[in-house]
Amino acid sequence: MPHKEETREFTPDLYPDFPEGFPTVELQTISLAKLLAGDAAEQERVFQECKGRGFFYLELAGCEPGEIIARDSHTMARLGEEFFKRPFDEKMKYAWSGNSLLGYKHAGATVTDKAGTRDKGEFFNIGKNDMLAPVDQMSRSWPEHVVEARPVLQAYMRAAHGIGVEILGILAKKLGVDPQEMQRRHRIMELSDDHVRITRGPPRETEEMPEIQTPSHTDFGTVTLLMNWLGGLQVWSESSRTAIVDSGLPDVPGEWLWVKPKPGCAIINLGDAAVKYTNGVLCSGRHRVIPSPGAQGKWVRYSVVYFVRPENKSTMEQLRGKGIPEGPVEENPLTTSEWIAQKAYGLGARIPGKPIPEGL
């Protein structure tokens, strides 16, 4: 009997190129293999990009962690696909609850503007500590296919976390900060909000209307490693450097620029914790996701994100080093969990039914 063809949504071999004629951002391409080999010029480029826009391409070939990310990001997307195709009620058994970001976020869970327009993106967030813990010590239940995939998830999380910590170590050295201090805030086995997020966004509905899949935001954590295969990600042309609780909308004039996916590369961006740690020396770029323009927009869009976040119990006070302006000594610095809860509360204005503050 012929094998029944499975219908697949994640089909990167079939995607057309990103179309010409749209405003795109020029990001630098930095080689992970060179960074791991201690190449001083490449390390300097990382530093410059992180002080600048806070976004760059990371070329993955030629080293083991890079090759794990390049290869297994496809497996991650498939884990998401396998989940997203289930009936809504089934998916909602794994819905976000309480303060935890882990599990399923349905499309339309947030509002994207004052008129109350809902977002179009679905997320499935798989927690690092649950995947690294013994199977009987996970904090919540996970679909069977996710539990079965624990070995590949573990390898992916270790590779992505390791890349993030490598980048943070380079930045610490450049800033005259004790690299051990940066590492102490990011030990892999300690509890943190690190997770693999698989996102799914439906095709573009109209040519002119940008349906928002993920509204404008900056990431909360320290480093984000993103794999995507279709356009859709946009960065705000100007970035502010305030790690404040904000409404989630651009606070400096500018325009949205497309980020073209680059084969063989991850996209690295810094999050607000990196800004807070460095008193604004490093930059966390504002971004959002809408369907790609042109022919790419006809496809369902998947992305695979790994968020490196500080350990829950570590405190968020600024790091001290010759490259960081001295801020006031914080008497009772917030823990990461408290700080993230505060930021999430700011974005809580996006939850349907909650009043949207002025300015949003």
Contact positions vs ligand AKG (CB under 6 A) = 197, 199, 214, 219, 226, 228, 233, 287, 289, 303, 305
Residues that contact Fe ion, how many (by CB under 5 A): 1
70 binds, among Fe ion, ligand AKG, none (CB under 5 to 8 A by kind): none
Q: For residue 315, what are the β-bridge partners? A: 335
Output b/e per residue, 128-143; b: 16+ Cβ within 10 A: bbbbbeeeeebeeebb
308 binds, among Fe ion, ligand AKG, none (CB under 5 to 8 A by kind): none
Cα 273 versus chain centre, distance: 13
- The pattern of x and - marking residues 308 through 347 that bind Fe ion according to CB under 5 A reads ----------------------------------------
Residue 261: CB minimum distance to ligand AKG, A: 9
Collect all residues with Cβ–Cβ distance below 8 Å to 97 and sequence separation of at least 6: 103
Indicate the residue type of 232.
G
303 binds, among ligand AKG, Fe ion, none (CB under 5 to 8 A by kind): ligand AKG
233 binds, among Fe ion, ligand AKG, none (CB under 5 to 8 A by kind): ligand AKG
Options 45-53, 98-106, 214-222, 314-322: segment touching Fe ion (CB under 5 A):
214-222
Which one of residues 122, 193, 194, 219 is an interface residue with Fe ion (CB under 5 A)?
Answer: 219
Options 8-16, 41-49, 217-225, 296-304: segment touching Fe ion (CB under 5 A):
217-225
CA 45/CA 64 separation, integer angstroms: 22
Output b/e per residue, 37-63; b: 16+ Cβ within 10 A: eeeeebbebbbebbbebbbbbbbbeeb
The tokens describing 34, both together, are 């060179």
268 binds, among ligand AKG, Fe ion, none (CB under 5 to 8 A by kind): none
CA 63/CA 37 separation, integer angstroms: 10
- Closer CB to ligand AKG, 213 or 314, in the complex: 213
What is the H or E stretch that residue 104 is in?
Answer: strand 103-105
The residues that touch Fe ion, with contacts defined as CB under 5 A, are 219
